[in-house]
Chains A and B, each alone.
Chain A
Amino acid sequence: MTFAIEMSSQPSAPSINPPTLSGILRALLRADLTVQLRNGRALLLTFFPPLAVFYGLSTAKRGAQLGGAIVNVALALTLGIALIAILGYTASVARDRELGVFQRLRVTPAPTWTIMVSRLALQILSMLAMSVVVLVAAAVVENVRLDPAAYLLTLAMVIFSSAVFLGVGQALVGLIKSVDTVNAVGRLSFLPLVALGLFAHSTIFGTTFETIARWSPGGAVATLLGGAMQPAAWSADTWWALLASVLYAVVFAGIGIRWFQWSPR
């Protein structure tokens, strides 16, 4: 049995031109986009929970107590962003590391940061898509309509908020190697990081709890998104939430990048 040789159609002179950065990024983004669109679980995790939470908050009696329609939208967006980052992103990175996908990518001329940046860009794109869907649902179902400028500001703050939770996700998957542990810790950390934020605008558990909730990552992001949806009511609190978000993003992302473990062993 004979094999045609794969090199026969190529020049035998070795190609030694390193590829261009834009070519590398294009190849990575294209592959990561394909993976994202083909991953049913990721798609479900992207769109279903924030819509369900928004619906739940809007119809529940105590929904009003959590802070009204705008807050409901902000909370749904916060949850959606956090789910994509803390459960979806970490699971896919942990799994690919375990399979050796990253090691194979790292022996190509692609700079290491491009591998992560491409994946992060895809996560932010998913978050924007999720936000548009939630905002449209809010407009149609609950009649929450914003000025065009407020929509733009909201989407800008969605990108901003993504840094908080992607930073958390990066720290989580950077420090923990085991796929199962990453998933378990991701779910556990959801409570203090995100679920607490649901009560950032409600005193149903008392004011101390509200304060803690407000300054949790989820609370800060929810305040920030709520503020962006009503730019006229942007207040000192919104600025503080912005500052807190920056701090969370820098600290978590710093840890996740500095100590990221590429090798599965």
Chain B
Amino acid sequence: MSSISETAPQRLALQVENLHVSYGSKRAVDGVSLDINESEIFGLLGPNGAGKTSTLSAIEGLVKPDSGSIRIGDVDARANPAAARARMGVQLQSTSFQSNLTIREIVRLYAGLYGVALTRAGIDDLLADVHLEEEASKRFSQLSGGQQKRVSLLIATIHSPPLVLLDEPTAGLDPQARRQLWDRIERLRDIGRSILLTTHSMEEAQAVCHRVAVIDNGKLLTVDTPAGLIEKHKDDPRVRKAAHGQVTLEDVFIGLTGSDLRD
């Protein structure tokens, strides 16, 4: 199933076509196609094990797809992975940094890897921007979960990439931290970045995403704006069955993906 860009000619930040990823005999991504516009926040929703991280991993070049094409702007990511990676910022679902480095040293390392020249004062300014100036000399493992997420987002955007991939960026955050992260993501969009994020929060999808896609068993089930999805599926009997009164995005999600527990 392919996504529809309903708005007329827009430049694409990311174009994924007919992506297939498998691990041994396990099909994790089964023919996913996605278009992400410039200055768009796109949400990927799906139950555990649906194939969200696998889709992102293929875009990032961490796993080799069986087939499909991936373009970041005008770069073919499969043919030219280094150029593609220079154009994207990544926050992995579970990430860590060398445990013997301080936060300041980690930022310096990644600035170097992305070819960004930063002085020590420049690094400290960046850390102050995310309210981590006190943590500059600590190790990553000594930070709280929310602080760790701020470090990984800072590093994901250190080279001002046009495309930012965030895998469950708000998982485990308190409501304050979550909203601050939403603000940050929206400001990235306001300066022209495109963001592809995954989330399990319908509230988050509705609050920040222009469009969301629902993925399950490696297949994209539907793509639209949050309101558009409700409109499109509100009369589906599976969705009606899930609804308690007014149909919500979560009802659509449960209706389309079923109510069984996943791995």
Which residue from B87, B90, B113, B180 sits with its C-beta under 8 Å from A16?
B87
Q: How far is the CA of A20 from the CA of B162 in the complex (A)?
A: 20
Q: Is the pair A7, B96 in contact by a Cβ cutoff of 8 Å? A: no
Instruction: Using CB atoms, name the residue of chain B closest to A115.
Output: B113
Q: Which residues does chain A contribute within 8 Å of B100, judged by CB atoms?
A: 34-35, 38-39
Q: How far is the CA of A109 from the CA of B96 in the complex (A)?
A: 18
Q: Which residues does chain B contribute within 8 Å of A31, judged by CB atoms?
A: 98, 101, 105-106, 108-109
Q: Is the pair B99, A20 in contact by a Cβ cutoff of 8 Å? A: no
A189 within 8 A of B: no
Residues of chain A in range 1-53 having any CB-CB distance to chain B below 8 Å: 1-20, 23-24, 26-28, 30-31, 34-35, 38-39
- Of A94-102, A177-185, A206-214, the stretch lying at the interface with chain B is A94-102
Interface centre among B109, B157, B193 (most CB of A within 10 A): B109
Q: Is the pair B82, A111 in contact by a Cβ cutoff of 8 Å? A: yes
Which residue from A1, A7, A30, A262 sits with its C-beta under 8 Å from B160?
A7
Which residue from B87, B92, B109, B162 sits with its C-beta under 8 Å from A100?
B92
Give per-residue flags for B148-179: 1 if the beta carbon is below 8 A from chain A beta carbons, else 0: 00000010010111100000000000001000
CB distance from B263 to the nearest CB of A (A): 13
Q: How far is the CA of A108 from the CA of B112 in the complex (A)?
A: 10
Q: How many A-B residue pairs have CB under 8 A?
A: 142
Which residue from A3, A14, A38, A107 sits with its C-beta under 8 Å from B130?
A3
Q: Is the pair A8, B160 in contact by a Cβ cutoff of 8 Å? A: no
Q: Is the pair A12, B60 in contact by a Cβ cutoff of 8 Å? A: no
B116 within 8 A of A: yes
Q: Is the pair B92, A104 in contact by a Cβ cutoff of 8 Å? A: yes
Q: Which residues does chain B contribute within 8 Å of A18, judged by CB atoms?
A: 82-83, 86, 115
Q: Which residues does chain A contribute within 8 Å of B83, judged by CB atoms?
A: 16, 18, 109
Q: How far is the CA of A233 from the CA of B134 in the complex (A)?
A: 61
